[in-house]
Amino acid sequence: MIVMMKRLSRMAVSARLSAEGVISNKTVRRIGAAIRSAVRSNEFFLIPVALAIGILSGAAVTAMSAVAQLAHVVIYGIAIDIRLSASDVVHPVVAILAPAAGGLILGLMEWWRRRLKLSNATDPIEANALRGGRLSLRDSVVVSGQTVISNGAGASVGLEAGYTQIGAGLASLLGRMLNLRRNDLRIMVGCGAAAAISAAFDAPLTGAFYACELIVGVYSLSSAAPILTASITAALTARQLGGAPYSLTIPHVSASSVRQYLVLIALGLVTAVIGIAIMRAVPWFERLFRVFPVWIRPVAGGVCVGAMAIVTPQVLAAGHGAMLLDFSREMAGSLILTIVILKIMACLISLSSGFRGGLFFASLFVGSLIGKLFSVVMSYPLFGLIVDPTASALTAMACLGVAIVGGPLTMSFLVLEMTGSLEVTAVILAACIATSVFVRAVFGHSFSTWRLHLRGETIRSANDVGWLRNLTVQRLMRFDPVLVRSNMTIQACRREHPLGSCQAAFLVTADNKYCGVVLLADLFSSDFDIAADTEPVSRLAKYRDTSLSPEMNIKIAMTVFDRAEAEILAVTGADDVVTGYLNESFARRRYAEELDQVAASVLGL
């Protein structure tokens, strides 16, 4: 009896705990559902989400920067408060071995990824353009870790690509947990990228415009508040945790004369040509490294970068310390040119051989040196122009950033937040716009979209074209085509398909291959009454060589309709068998509806 009572008591306690657990789980689910409903129903609640993204991204940027700097201290033996690229010299053996060892780690990781047949990580621009803002946090963590390894080993890449990847990955995860709509999720990814850049440079406006120009793709009323919230929050978070890793402060500078305005705009165009040349060189360098096995490519690249670092340590890492050093000192033109060439070569070798990282800060550093070189050259007797070296450096810095990274407003606001000078920002904005127009017309891509283009993608910005690709013929077509044998007579076809029963019949051969369309209006035309009993219906066939395929998107389908001047077309499979049909008027209406939805999301309606 006592044993039975103990068992019953344990069962009662277990039942009570189980019930409490159910209640607790139900409560959690209800709270989660209420939060998701509030965020989806009212755009105001996106602001608290953006606030959380800003805090997380600011903390992630600070942590990544600290790890990379610690790696520089341990590996290269520099002081904790000294940037690697600002070192006077580095030990030759360390300069060779450190990037090579980091490259070996990355090479083995890439070899393992290919062995497991894992897909490449999606970056924020591709995610927002094609995937509705969906990013894998696991892939983002891997990419960010590889960026820290690359920069920490001394490869000539910046951490900003890893910053934006982890910020966007965290934002995408949070957005998916809240079950956000497609457009809201894209904005959250923009918040993550904005927060990352803002925390890196201590520049909230730069981060916000980076997100609008490069990640979201548009300036939207509905996205302004959350993106600015995330950007400001991240900058404040980074300040509290130790300061922005790429913070820049530039002394007072002025550019007041009209002549200087014109000279600096010309400098912007020269810089644009250099930026295009750098991007064009990327596939050439990649082809050079393809002669090596995939795991050894970063090792070879690391050895090359290390050899250049023996000449000047300024080629190592992103170049933040070197940029601060070079801004405030007089430099000979030959020295500037040497550093520019070596830094460009080091960046191209690092990225082409398999190191992870970005060209954001590297383009700023190289651009500033190009500007200093420009001011030196203009002072020669041949030209006789005195150009303020700091104004020249800032202009070329911003313009090379526009040429390679994109975003004329992003770079202009970076200069504004660095200098606090509206006068200088005005002329640099003009130069940046001229650079952007020139690069867009001549080349058509920024570095990010150019890399996607090399992989086979055709996007030129982060504008949302994923909906366009998802709106395929297969989703729009009807699956009940009226099929008619091509050898059937006109009269027999009339009897089988009375006027008004369908819009068109689709002719097929004896082996069911598509061979044309017959409109019922043509089938019942009085012109064919006399010979209707003997004439084959194939005489009335139209669009014999024109059909749609199920995987076509709506834009391509509309082009086919216009070229064929058709109102209805067959949809055929790979074996040329009719699987359905699509009406032009329906396709055009669906296309217009989707365009209206996109416009409404941009305007915040």
Mean pLDDT, residues 256-265 taken together? 74
Q: Identify the weakest region by mean pLDDT among 8-17, 304-313, 363-372.
A: 8-17
Q: Residue 52: what pLDDT?
A: 94
pLDDT greater than 50 at residue 5:
no
pLDDT digits (tens, 9 = 90+) for 575-595: 888 989 998 888 888 877 776
Backbone angles phi, psi at 514, to 5 degrees: -70, 140
Q: How confident is the model at residue 62 (pLDDT cuts 50, 70, 90)?
A: very high
Domain boundaries, the chain: 1-37, 468-602
Q: How confident is the model at residue 101 (pLDDT cuts 50, 70, 90)?
A: very high
Q: Identify the weakest region by mean pLDDT among 53-62, 125-134, 143-152, 166-175.
A: 125-134
pLDDT digits (tens, 9 = 90+) for 131-140: 778 888 999 9
The model carries a pTM of 0.79
Q: How far is CA 443 from CA 218, 402, 446, in A?
A: 21, 13, 8
Q: Within its chain, how far is the Cα of 6 from the centroid?
A: 64
Q: How far is CA 305 from CA 9, 93, 146, 552, in A?
A: 73, 12, 17, 45
Q: How far is CA 239 from CA 62, 204, 262, 486, in A?
A: 9, 12, 38, 76
Indicate the residue type of 341.
I
Nearest CA among 400, 284, 257 for reference residue 349: 284
pLDDT greater than 50 at residue 430:
yes
Q: Report the SS3 class of residue 145.
A: helix
pLDDT greater than 50 at residue 1:
no
Indicate the residue type of 579.
T
- Compute the distance between CA of residue 14 and CA of residue 373 in angstroms, rounded to an integer: 78
- Compute the distance between CA of residue 38 and CA of residue 569 in angstroms, rounded to an integer: 45
∠ CA 165-170-172 to the nearest 5 degrees?
90
pLDDT digits (tens, 9 = 90+) for 28-52: 677 767 777 767 666 788 899 999 9
| Burial zone of 397 (CB within 10 Å; 0-12 exposed, 13-18 middle, 19+ buried) | buried
- Compute the distance between CA of residue 547 and CA of residue 580 in angstroms, rounded to an integer: 10
User: Can you name the CATH fold of 468-602?
Assistant: CBS-domain (3.10.580)
For residue 18, give the H/E element and its range: helix 2-41
Q: What do you get for the CA distance between the two ends of the chain, in Å?
A: 72
Q: Residue 15: what pLDDT?
A: 47
DSSP 214: I
